[in-house]
């Protein structure tokens, strides 16, 4: 059911994996300020707890833009359906036709509206890299790899104990000795 709701009552869904960076966030805030009517045509999708399933970035931007109310559409879906929606809603299935954008649209307007079009030229690679630190990647490839096969689950479990590493039926590879895996999910660029 589509309706206006107070912004302070809405919450970001705790497992929504979508994020937005400062530059694009600022563009979204400006977009909402310049064209608030768009929010009624694209309401936030929320569950019965008023957790946002679709539109978390617009919720943050609307808050930053100073809106007090925002259009929502409340759905009554299972937890699985909600998770599926959060991913499908944020998937970019389409692509831009860069030829039409370059020839039929105003480049400055597109930029003002938040379209990142570095692919349309006017990029000087030397300028883009000026002042960037030198970087040399350490070779992290393994020295040697082998394939180990097991006749049955008992053999897999026994080998797992022998090398003191967890090996499940879904394990595709391991390092020996065991290596610490870098977590990149919380990194911001």
When pLDDT is averaged across residues 133-160 and rounded to a whole number, the result is 87
Per-residue pLDDT for 97 more than 60?
Answer: yes
Residue 54's DSSP bridge partners are 45
Contact 52, 89 (CB under 8 A): no
| Position 9 pLDDT exceeds 90 | yes
Rounded to a whole number of angstroms, the CA Rg of the chain reads 24
Phi, psi for 54 (deg, rounded to 5): -135, 115
Which residues belong to CATH 3.90.1530 in the chain? 2-90
pLDDT of residue 162: 92
Sheet arrangement for strand 51-54:
2-6, 69-74, 44-46, 51-54, 11-12
Residue 146 is predicted with a pLDDT of 87
pLDDT band at 187 (very low <50, low <70, confident <90, very high): low
CATH topology of domain 2-90: 3.90.1530
What is the pTM (predicted TM-score) of this model? 0.57
* More confident call, 107 vs 48: 48
């Amino acid at each position: 059911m589509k309706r206006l709701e107070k912004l302070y009552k809405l919450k970001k869904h705790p497992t929504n994996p979508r994020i937005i960076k400062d530059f694009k966030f600022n563009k979204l805030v400006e977009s909402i300020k310049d064209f608030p009517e768009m929010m009624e045509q694209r309401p936030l999708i929320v569950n019965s707890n008023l957790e946002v399933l679709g539109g978390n970035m617009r919720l943050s931007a609307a808050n930053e833009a100073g809106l007090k109310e925002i259009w929502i559409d409340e759905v009554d879906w299972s937890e699985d359906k909600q998770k599926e929606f959060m991913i499908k809603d944020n998937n970019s299935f389409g692509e831009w036709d860069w030829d039409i954008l370059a020839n039929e649209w105003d480049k400055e307007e597109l930029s003002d509206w938040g379209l990142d079009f570095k692919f349309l030229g006017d990029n000087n690679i030397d300028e883009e890299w000026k002042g960037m630190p030198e970087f040399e990647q350490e070779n992290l490839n393994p020295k040697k790899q082998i394939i180990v096969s097991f006749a049955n689950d008992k053999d897999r479990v026994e080998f797992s104990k022998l090398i003191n590493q967890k090996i499940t039926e879904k394990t595709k590879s391991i390092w020996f000795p065991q290596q610490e895996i870098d977590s990149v999910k919380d990194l911001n660029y």
